């Protein structure tokens, strides 16, 4: 906690971790910018969480444009979670999905779930059925895109 993580250390740790785990989750929002960029570019597949707001979609589109500019194979291995954190409002889902999927990323919509809204511990038995179904679609999309990248090599 509190120690500055550099790119060299990050790569060393992640290379070691990948030997033992098929999936690694990295919260890039908490990382220094250079390390976060490295995390996004050194993965088999990536998941970006976009708040279902106009600002959230615009910011995520900017990240997708950057990722897509690095190499053409990166957007097809990216899944975006369009996350609704309030019960009503936000964005027009169809337009947001269309904008975020431009270039090859896949979008999975996560509807508002009052159990997740306050944050904290997730108790799976308290999740709404549509949340359980959306997380299954998310897992399937990430796995499919990760495996598809392996086949293209």
**Are residue 73 and residue 34 in the same domain, yes or no?**
no
**Are residue 28 and residue 57 in the same domain, yes or no?**
no
Range of the domain at 13: 1-43
**Are residue 7 and residue 76 in the same domain, yes or no?**
no
Spatial contact of 77 and 148, defined as CB atoms under 8 Å apart: yes
**Are residue 102 and residue 142 in the same domain, yes or no?**
yes
**Are residue 8 and residue 52 in the same domain, yes or no?**
no
CB neighbours of residue 40 within 10 Å:
19
What does the pLDDT average to over 25-32?
76
What was the pLDDT predicted at 26?
Answer: 77
Mean pLDDT in the chain? 85
Rounded to 5 degrees, φ, ψ at 108 are: -115, 125
**Are residue 16 and residue 57 in the same domain, yes or no?**
no
**Are residue 101 and residue 143 in the same domain, yes or no?**
yes
Spatial contact of 109 and 93, defined as CB atoms under 8 Å apart: yes
Instruction: Return the axis-axis angle of helices 33-41 and 54-70, rounded to nearest 10°.
Output: 60
Greater model confidence, 55 or 149 = 55
Lowest mean per-residue pLDDT among 36-40, 51-55, 56-60, 103-107: 36-40
Name residues whose C-beta falls within 8 Å of residue 130's C-beta, 6 or more positions apart in sequence. 111, 113
Distance (Å, whole) CA 153 – CA 149: 7
C-alpha torsion sign, points 73, 14, 29, 127: positive
Say how many CA atoms lie within 13 Å of 136 toward its Cβ. Answer: 8
**Are residue 86 and residue 19 in the same domain, yes or no?**
no
Helix locations, 1-153, DSSP H: 7-18, 33-41, 54-70, 93-101, 129-152
**Are residue 126 and residue 51 in the same domain, yes or no?**
yes
**Are residue 56 and residue 119 in the same domain, yes or no?**
yes
**Are residue 24 and residue 77 in the same domain, yes or no?**
no
If we measure between CA atoms, which residue out of 23, 85, 76 comes closest to residue 49?
85
Report the number of distinct structural domains present in the chain: 2
**Are residue 2 and residue 69 in the same domain, yes or no?**
no
pTM: 0.82
């Amino acid at each position: 906690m509190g120690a500055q993580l550099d790119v060299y250390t990050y790569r060393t740790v992640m290379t070691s971790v990948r030997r033992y785990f098929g999936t690694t989750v990295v919260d890039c929002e908490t990382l220094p910018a250079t390390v976060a960029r490295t995390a996004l570019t050194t993965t088999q597949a990536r998941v970006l969480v976009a708040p279902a707001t106009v600002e959230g979609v615009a910011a995520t589109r900017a990240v997708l444009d950057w990722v897509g500019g690095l190499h053409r194979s990166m957007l097809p291995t990216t899944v975006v979670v369009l996350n609704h954190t309030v019960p009503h409002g936000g964005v027009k889902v169809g337009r947001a999905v269309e904008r975020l999927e431009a270039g090859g990323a896949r979008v999975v919509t996560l509807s508002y779930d009052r159990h997740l809204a306050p944050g904290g511990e997730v108790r799976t038995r308290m999740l709404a059925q549509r949340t359980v179904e959306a997380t299954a679609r998310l897992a399937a999309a990430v796995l499919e895109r990760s495996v598809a990248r392996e086949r293209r090599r």
